[in-house]
Protein backbone atom coordinates (compact mmCIF):
# COMPACT_ATOMS: atom_id res chain seq x y z
CA UNK A 1 0.00 0.00 0.00
CA UNK A 2 2.73 2.50 0.93
CA UNK A 3 4.62 1.80 -2.28
CA UNK A 4 1.52 2.49 -4.39
CA UNK A 5 1.05 5.74 -2.47
CA UNK A 6 4.58 6.79 -3.39
CA UNK A 7 3.99 6.01 -7.07
CA UNK A 8 0.72 7.93 -6.85
CA UNK A 9 2.53 10.99 -5.47
CA UNK A 10 5.15 10.80 -8.24
CA UNK A 11 2.41 10.48 -10.85
CA UNK A 12 0.46 13.37 -9.29
CA UNK A 13 3.47 15.70 -9.33
CA UNK A 14 4.06 14.81 -12.98
CA UNK A 15 0.37 15.22 -13.84
CA UNK A 16 0.53 18.78 -12.47
CA UNK A 17 3.67 19.50 -14.52
CA UNK A 18 2.08 18.14 -17.69
CA UNK A 19 -1.01 20.30 -17.09
CA UNK A 20 1.29 23.35 -17.00
CA UNK A 21 2.78 22.32 -20.34
CA UNK A 22 -0.70 21.99 -21.86
CA UNK A 23 -1.34 25.66 -20.97
CA UNK A 24 1.94 26.92 -22.49
CA UNK A 25 2.78 28.04 -25.98
CA UNK A 26 6.15 27.98 -27.70
CA UNK A 27 6.03 31.79 -27.81
CA UNK A 28 5.99 32.22 -24.03
CA UNK A 29 8.22 29.26 -23.26
CA UNK A 30 11.42 31.28 -23.65
CA UNK A 31 10.26 34.48 -21.94
CA UNK A 32 12.51 35.28 -19.02
CA UNK A 33 11.24 38.18 -16.89
CA UNK A 34 13.81 40.41 -15.24
CA UNK A 35 15.15 38.83 -12.08
CA UNK A 36 14.53 35.26 -13.22
CA UNK A 37 17.64 33.31 -14.27
CA UNK A 38 15.67 30.70 -16.24
CA UNK A 39 12.57 30.34 -18.39
CA UNK A 40 9.69 27.86 -18.63
CA UNK A 41 11.54 25.63 -21.10
CA UNK A 42 14.61 25.38 -18.87
CA UNK A 43 12.55 24.48 -15.79
CA UNK A 44 10.70 21.71 -17.63
CA UNK A 45 13.89 20.23 -19.03
CA UNK A 46 15.56 20.59 -15.64
CA UNK A 47 12.78 18.62 -13.91
CA UNK A 48 13.26 15.75 -16.39
CA UNK A 49 17.05 15.92 -16.21
CA UNK A 50 17.36 15.92 -12.43
CA UNK A 51 14.91 13.05 -11.98
CA UNK A 52 16.81 10.98 -14.55
CA UNK A 53 20.19 11.88 -13.03
CA UNK A 54 19.02 10.97 -9.53
CA UNK A 55 17.75 7.61 -10.79
CA UNK A 56 21.01 7.01 -12.66
CA UNK A 57 23.66 8.13 -10.19
CA UNK A 58 21.97 7.06 -6.96
CA UNK A 59 19.60 4.21 -7.86
CA UNK A 60 21.80 2.76 -10.60
CA UNK A 61 19.33 2.89 -13.49
CA UNK A 62 20.35 3.73 -17.06
CA UNK A 63 20.35 7.47 -17.82
CA UNK A 64 17.00 7.81 -19.59
CA UNK A 65 17.30 11.19 -21.31
CA UNK A 66 17.58 12.47 -24.86
CA UNK A 67 21.04 13.53 -25.95
CA UNK A 68 22.06 16.98 -24.80
CA UNK A 69 19.68 17.27 -21.84
CA UNK A 70 22.33 17.10 -19.09
CA UNK A 71 24.45 19.75 -20.82
CA UNK A 72 21.44 22.02 -21.32
CA UNK A 73 19.39 21.46 -18.15
CA UNK A 74 21.68 20.30 -15.31
CA UNK A 75 22.25 22.35 -12.17
CA UNK A 76 24.14 25.54 -12.93
CA UNK A 77 23.10 25.79 -16.59
CA UNK A 78 21.19 28.75 -18.01
CA UNK A 79 19.21 29.23 -21.23
CA UNK A 80 21.31 32.34 -21.91
CA UNK A 81 24.25 29.94 -22.52
CA UNK A 82 22.44 27.87 -25.18
CA UNK A 83 23.91 28.03 -28.66
CA UNK A 84 20.85 26.39 -30.27
CA UNK A 85 17.12 26.49 -29.44
CA UNK A 86 15.90 24.19 -26.67
CA UNK A 87 13.60 21.24 -27.29
CA UNK A 88 10.04 21.99 -28.37
CA UNK A 89 7.20 21.66 -25.86
CA UNK A 90 5.90 18.40 -27.38
CA UNK A 91 9.32 16.79 -26.89
CA UNK A 92 9.55 18.02 -23.31
CA UNK A 93 6.02 16.73 -22.64
CA UNK A 94 6.88 13.34 -24.16
CA UNK A 95 10.06 12.99 -22.09
CA UNK A 96 8.28 14.01 -18.88
CA UNK A 97 5.22 11.83 -19.55
CA UNK A 98 7.39 8.77 -20.10
CA UNK A 99 9.60 9.07 -17.05
CA UNK A 100 7.38 7.72 -14.26
CA UNK A 101 6.20 4.66 -16.26
CA UNK A 102 9.83 3.99 -17.26
CA UNK A 103 10.99 4.25 -13.66
CA UNK A 104 8.25 1.89 -12.51
CA UNK A 105 9.22 -0.64 -15.18
CA UNK A 106 12.92 -0.30 -14.31
CA UNK A 107 12.24 -1.04 -10.63
CA UNK A 108 10.45 -4.43 -10.70
CA UNK A 109 11.66 -5.20 -7.16
CA UNK A 110 9.98 -2.09 -5.82
CA UNK A 111 11.01 1.18 -4.25
CA UNK A 112 12.60 -0.29 -1.13
CA UNK A 113 15.72 -1.26 -3.10
CA UNK A 114 18.83 0.28 -1.57
CA UNK A 115 20.49 3.12 -3.42
CA UNK A 116 23.81 2.28 -5.05
CA UNK A 117 25.06 5.54 -3.53
CA UNK A 118 23.55 7.55 -0.68
CA UNK A 119 22.10 10.89 -1.77
CA UNK A 120 22.56 13.68 0.77
CA UNK A 121 21.00 17.14 0.91
CA UNK A 122 21.00 19.58 3.82
CA UNK A 123 22.16 16.92 6.24
CA UNK A 124 19.50 14.41 5.19
CA UNK A 125 20.45 10.99 3.84
CA UNK A 126 18.34 9.25 1.22
CA UNK A 127 19.26 5.58 0.99
CA UNK A 128 16.48 3.86 -1.00
CA UNK A 129 14.86 4.34 -4.39
CA UNK A 130 11.75 5.58 -2.56
CA UNK A 131 13.71 8.22 -0.65
CA UNK A 132 15.40 9.50 -3.79
CA UNK A 133 12.30 9.52 -5.99
CA UNK A 134 10.26 11.28 -3.32
CA UNK A 135 12.97 13.93 -3.21
CA UNK A 136 12.59 14.25 -6.99
CA UNK A 137 8.85 14.95 -6.53
CA UNK A 138 9.72 17.67 -3.99
CA UNK A 139 12.25 19.08 -6.48
CA UNK A 140 9.62 19.04 -9.23
CA UNK A 141 7.23 20.99 -7.02
CA UNK A 142 9.90 23.63 -6.36
CA UNK A 143 10.33 24.18 -10.08
CA UNK A 144 6.60 24.30 -10.74
CA UNK A 145 6.59 27.05 -8.11
CA UNK A 146 9.27 28.86 -10.12
CA UNK A 147 7.19 28.45 -13.27
CA UNK A 148 4.26 29.99 -11.43
CA UNK A 149 6.56 32.85 -10.32
CA UNK A 150 7.65 33.47 -13.92
CA UNK A 151 4.00 33.50 -14.99
CA UNK A 152 3.29 36.04 -12.27
CA UNK A 153 6.36 38.06 -13.30
CA UNK A 154 4.96 38.20 -16.84
CA UNK A 155 1.72 39.63 -15.47
CA UNK A 156 -0.15 36.44 -16.25
CA UNK A 157 -1.63 35.32 -13.00
CA UNK A 158 -2.50 35.75 -9.40
CA UNK A 159 -0.33 34.53 -6.60
What's the CATH code of the domain at 70?
1.20.120.450
Q: What was the pLDDT predicted at 33?
A: 84
Rg over CA atoms, the chain: 16
Q: What was the pLDDT predicted at 154?
A: 81
Average pLDDT over residues 70-92: 95
Structural domain contains residue 133: yes
Structural domain contains residue 159: no
Say how many domains are in the chain.
1
Q: What was the pLDDT predicted at 156?
A: 64
**pLDDT higher than threshold 80 for residue 101:** yes
Structural domain contains residue 16: yes
CB-based burial label for 80 (10 Å; 0-12, 13-18, 19+) = exposed
Q: What was the pLDDT predicted at 129?
A: 97
Contacts of 109 (CB under 8 A, 6+ apart): none
Contacts of 113 (CB under 8 A, 6+ apart): 59, 107, 128, 129
Q: What is the overall mean pLDDT for the chain?
A: 94
Structural domain contains residue 59: yes
Q: What was the pLDDT predicted at 159?
A: 46
Phi, psi of 126 (to 5 degrees): -115, 120
Q: By the 8 A CB rule, do 30 and 41 touch?
A: yes
**pLDDT higher than threshold 70 for residue 144:** yes
**pLDDT higher than threshold 60 for residue 90:** yes
Confidence class for position 158, pLDDT limits 50, 70, 90: low
Q: By the 8 A CB rule, do 117 and 76 touch?
A: no
Structural domain contains residue 158: no
Structural domain contains residue 62: yes
Contacts of 22 (CB under 8 A, 6+ apart): 93
pLDDT tens-digit map of 16-74: 999 999 999 998 999 888 888 999 999 999 999 999 999 999 999 999 999 999 999 99
Residue 98: domain span: 2-153
Structural domain contains residue 135: yes
**CA 70 to CA 90: how far, in whole Å?**
18
Amino acid sequence: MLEESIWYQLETARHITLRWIAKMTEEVCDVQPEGFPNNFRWHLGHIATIQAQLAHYYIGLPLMLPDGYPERFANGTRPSEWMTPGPALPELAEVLAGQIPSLRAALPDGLAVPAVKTFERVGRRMETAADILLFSAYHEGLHIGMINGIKYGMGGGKR
